[in-house]
Amino acid sequence: MLGERAVDFDGTLVVENSTRLLEREMFAAYRGRSRRVLAWLFFGGGSAYVTGLSSVIGRVVGRRIDWRFVLFLLVTRGRFTQDVGPMCDAVAARLRLNTRLRGVVTSEGRLMIVSCGCGPVIERFIGCSGIDAVVVDASDLWQGRSGRVSARLREPRDKVAALLTIRAREYVTDSLGEARLVARNVERSGVVGVNVEEVNGLYRVAVMSGGLPSGG
């Protein structure tokens, strides 16, 4: 077994949504002609339209990735005046550990992070915060030779697969819907005694006996 304690990242291990902060950091390094319009769409009065469009795309396509971030990279063409590494560093330095997690995770030891957030940001946060944690599954973010930033994003069902693989005894998230999704899939795999409980405003999926069965 790789580990027994798994946690979500955004809103769970840290207070903030790291991808939203990364968008702002990237936009500060964007110099396209449509900058004023995009500022209104993503960070001003038009953000509700972007959120609504993202939800529609997700339903039509049948994938629950972060479509807002996909749209952001599309309209900016992933081209910025700064390398993606320093931008990820800047975001990681602004993230704050979520004190609500204390008392929710039931055992000591290394945390297994299973997240749809961007892996490079999470890795940098682990490095600068000094917490005992490892990224098991997260979205990929990279910069090609042309300088364009691209991403391969994860979704909740990818988290489920990762949790089945590491056979965690518990998983903590800030989303009740995600907690229920994980619990349903664990039960379908044949585990009896899966419980979802709210603690300190977070949701813990606990396997009462043993860990999750291996996903193969």
Q: What's at 183, amino acid-wise? A: A
Domain residue limits at 171: 5-207
- Residues with Cβ within 8 Å of 99's Cβ and at least 6 positions away in sequence, in order, are none
* CATH number of the domain that residue 70 is part of: 3.40.50
pLDDT for residue 216: 45
- Residues with Cβ within 8 Å of 8's Cβ and at least 6 positions away in sequence, in order, are 113, 114, 115, 159, 171, 172, 173, 174, 175, 178
Q: What's at 121, amino acid-wise? A: V
Q: Give pLDDT tens digits for 130-174.
A: 999 999 999 999 999 999 999 999 999 999 999 988 888 899 999
24 part of a folded domain: yes
213 part of a folded domain: no
* CB hemisphere CA count around 5 (13 angstroms): 16
Contact in structure between 97 and 122 (CB atoms under 8 Å) = no
- How many domains are there within the chain? 1
Contact in structure between 166 and 2 (CB atoms under 8 Å) = yes
pLDDT for residue 213: 53
62 part of a folded domain: yes
The predicted model scores a pTM of: 0.90
19 part of a folded domain: yes
214 part of a folded domain: no
Q: Is the pLDDT of residue 210 over 70?
A: no
104 part of a folded domain: yes
18 part of a folded domain: yes
Q: What is the CA radius of gyration of the chain?
A: 18
User: Which position has the token pair 């619990």?
Assistant: 183
In the chain, % of residues over pLDDT 70: 94
